[in-house]
Amino acid sequence: MNLLPNAPLTETRKRIVPPRTTSPTVPTVRAAAPPLAPGALPGLGHAAALLRDPLGFLGSLARLGGVVRIRLGPRTVCVVTDARLVHTLLVALAHDCPRGAVQDTLRTAFGDGLLMSEGQAHRDRRRIIQPVFGPDRMAGYLTVMHQVTEERAGRWRPGQILDVAAEMNHLALEIVTRSLFGARLSEDATLAFHRALPDLVKGQIVQSLYPHPAFARLPLPVNRRFDAAVRVLNRVVDQAVNGPAGTARPDRNRGSLPALLRAATDPATGRPLTEADVRSEAITMFGAGTETVSTTLTWLLDELLRHPEVEARVLAELDEHLPAGTTPTPEALGRLVYTRSVTQEAVRLHAPNAFLMRTAQVPVDLGPYRIPAGTELLYSLTALHRDPVRYDDPLSFRPERWQDGGRLGRPSFLPFGAGKHKCIGEAFAWAELTVAAAAILRRWRPVAVPGSHAREVVWTTVQAQGLRVRLAPRTQPAAVAEGPARTEVVNRPLPAGCPFTGTAATTAVPAPRPSAALRAAADRHADWTVRHGLLAPAELPGYRAYALHELIGHAFPRARGTELDLLVDVLGWFTVLDDRFDGPPGRRPAEAHALVDPLISALDGDVRPATPDDRLLTAWRELWQRQSESASPAWRARAAGEWRACLATFPAEAEHRARGTVPSLGLADTMRLRRHGSCLYPFMNILERVHGADAPAALHAEPALHRLRANTADAATLINDLYSLEREERQTAAAFNTVLTLQRIRGCTRSRAVRAVRARVVRLRQENEELRRDLGRRHPAGRWYLDGTRELVAGVQAWTSTSDRYLVPGGRGR
């Protein structure tokens, strides 16, 4: 909750600061002058280097000493580069080194409140405000934080593109307004606040660099914008403090910050605080409680996007200690040990303070250095937290560095300052980061828009700009569930003498989401097939009887919104393609190649114009684009390769039929064709698309995972073969079905072949459970993927046992 204004100097990338192999240079003579940084330019000094790459320049100074002099035009500034000396500056020397020029420029906007005051005035004001952030208030704040985030996230929509920085800024402002002020800002006031803040902080930076304070009174454009921003911020704060114009003051919110301030007296005068005092503290809380938290939330989401294994562990911990639908409590947050490590690492790596300043009012000693009176002292928490002497591999996001205490702590870690000016709202800020991130991640799975990432833009804060995500629902929240219950039980009879179970019992199949959501997806898919010319309207009734949406519903229970639509469309498209090969292309290799080769070429980026008759190709190009958008290069390459293998089975099967070689195929050859031709490998890849991130690369490199994927494809294929057996027996073309293959090569009866296939499915499932246990133990971040392969097989069985896809008129059991 430090006030970290964000007037930008430049955009920069994180860069490696050359490591110090020894401690900072220590002069042999006590009270020596700090060394002067090389590279000063005539007239400009080091200003050009600071403006060009603030973090790189400040980080590089640590090699020269714990305090280093730089020149900014005619001014000499001492940069404190050592964390322990910064701690000394903020604690032991706090009285002698009050706030510096950068903060002084904000007096016009913030007055002489907690942020700007010093000495006894600061201590008195801090005592007045401290009860607002007392431990007894935290439970109430957590409830408001959770409610505000749920409400705002509940207004987002599947597929929506979100500007993360802007949205987090709005969220943080709303949390502060409702938590501390018990008020709600109008939308106009909220937008005005966000538009004014950049002009405020730009003016702050520019005015702090003026050679004389009188320049701030000149009618320069930057000064006029700064003054206008101050007026806007005061109007917004007045609305939060006093309510809309013409309404009574909200002093009925007796626990709010304004009510507390109005009930207090000034210890120096014995009089009540003035309305100017109330406004000063209010605007401080608005600025401090919005900018830094929203920036850190943006960086946190960016890091989780790039580290899905970390996100998976956070979600698992939330499931254990803060179940969905529960209001967070201080005790629950205390149990989120790993999540706290993640937020600490985000704050360390992306400490919002690019630089802050103090001024030595008297001569002081700072470590071995003598600092003359009047010297401005600058320090960068961002640079300190990336110091390779203090932090191993400092530019890597490694939450585990905090899990054993990491041998880290003050004075190395100073995100909220230290000493008497330490941020009064530190506990509030940590709680807000955790509660807001938890509520967002439980409801939504953000997927980075291609070409979008968070960029470091440095003003006095290190901004995260440019991150845009597409929203995919992660779960169906109870508050918006369709119908009276979140799940339904679909009771549909299995065929008598079910070929898989061998029984005639009726099985209750649990539907993974409200049926209304699946029916809506089925309706959208029907429109999609007609729009692309894949089916005529008259063909829809028979096609819809297949209930393909129910297969997706069972096999992908967490798919929602655009992901659900994509899965149903892909499965429907593949079904239409598969049915096409029941006709002539299934027996004529040339026609099969003419149909499939353009589909394979599309995976390689072939965009040659399609003819009006190439409806499958046109639809396929759209589907491949929808599958691969936002995907990593590794995912795209893997998915494209497995789609090629899948599509290539159609001409291969046509070749066997044309040559009459189907009866001579052995079980291994049949299984290889069926394994890839059943589309299971591509759908295992779409598990990652639905999740929003690749399974860990180390997991993909495991031979055991390759075995599990093959077993998954085989088990689902064999289940499909059992239920499609009657239909395929009646086809005129030779069928690739493992039951029929077993009958041929073993010379056994149909029932014995069915029993053998059923037994094989059982063995595959047992082997996969052993593989999951082993892989899950070694790759816990990939458990969601391992579990998804199990759900895929279970979904195929649930659907094939109930769908009309394999219904044979007059067949057995019907």
SS3 11: strand
Strand order of the β-sheet with 161-163 is 161-163, 468-473, 444-448
Q: How confident is the model at residue 729 (pLDDT cuts 50, 70, 90)?
A: low
Asked whether the predicted pLDDT for residue 128 surpasses 50, the reply is yes
Residue among 378, 518, 401 at smallest CA distance from 460: 378
- Residue reference for tokens 């919110």: 253
SS3 72: strand
Q: How confident is the model at residue 567 (pLDDT cuts 50, 70, 90)?
A: very high
Q: Considering the entire predicted model, what is its pTM?
A: 0.56
Which pLDDT belongs to residue 730?
Answer: 60
Distances (CA, A) of 266 to 111, 134, 277, 375, 519: 15, 20, 10, 32, 65
Report d(CA 749, CA 740) in Å as an integer. 10
Contacts 24+ apart (CB under 8 A), 389-396: 389/19, 389/20, 389/23, 389/62, 390/83, 391/348, 394/17, 394/349, 395/14, 395/15, 395/16, 395/349
Distances (CA, A) of 630 to 174, 332, 682: 30, 34, 17
Q: Amino acid identity, residue 676?
A: H
Q: Amino acid identity, residue 483?
A: G
For the ranges 1-5, 239-243, 793-797, the lowest mean pLDDT is seen at 1-5
Which pLDDT belongs to residue 594?
Answer: 92
Q: Amino acid identity, residue 632?
A: S
Report d(CA 17, CA 15) in Å as an integer. 6
Report d(CA 408, CA 296) in Å as an integer. 20
Interval 65-74: pLDDT, tens: 999 999 988 8
Asked whether the predicted pLDDT for residue 482 surpasses 80, the reply is no
Are β-strands 506-510 and 369-371 bridged in parallel, bridged antiparallel, or unpaired?
unpaired
Q: What are the E-state strand segments in 20-93?
A: 67-72, 75-80
Q: How many CB atoms lie within 10 A of CB 23?
A: 9
In sequence order, the β-bridge partners of residue 491 are 508
Distances (CA, A) of 39 to 44, 46, 115, 378: 11, 7, 35, 18
Residue among 420, 415, 345 at smallest CA distance from 379: 415
Asked whether the predicted pLDDT for residue 251 surpasses 80, the reply is no
Q: Which helix (H) or strand (E) holds 493?
A: strand 489-493
The dihedral through the CA atoms of 733, 739, 741, 745 has a sign that is negative
Interval 49-108: pLDDT, tens: 888 888 889 999 999 999 999 998 888 999 999 999 999 999 999 989 987 655 666 666
Interval 332-355: pLDDT, tens: 999 999 999 999 999 999 988 788
DSSP string across 357-390: EEE-SS-EEETTEEE-TT-EEEE-HHHHTT-TTT
Provide φ and ψ at 446, rounded to 5°: -75, 140
Q: Residue 781 carries which DSSP code?
A: G
Residue among 430, 146, 110 at smallest CA distance from 285: 110
Which pLDDT belongs to residue 477?
Answer: 34
Which pLDDT belongs to residue 727?
Answer: 66
Q: How confident is the model at residue 249 (pLDDT cuts 50, 70, 90)?
A: very low
Residue among 531, 411, 319 at smallest CA distance from 80: 411
Residue among 366, 435, 449, 415 at smallest CA distance from 162: 449
Report d(CA 458, CA 60) in Å as an integer. 16
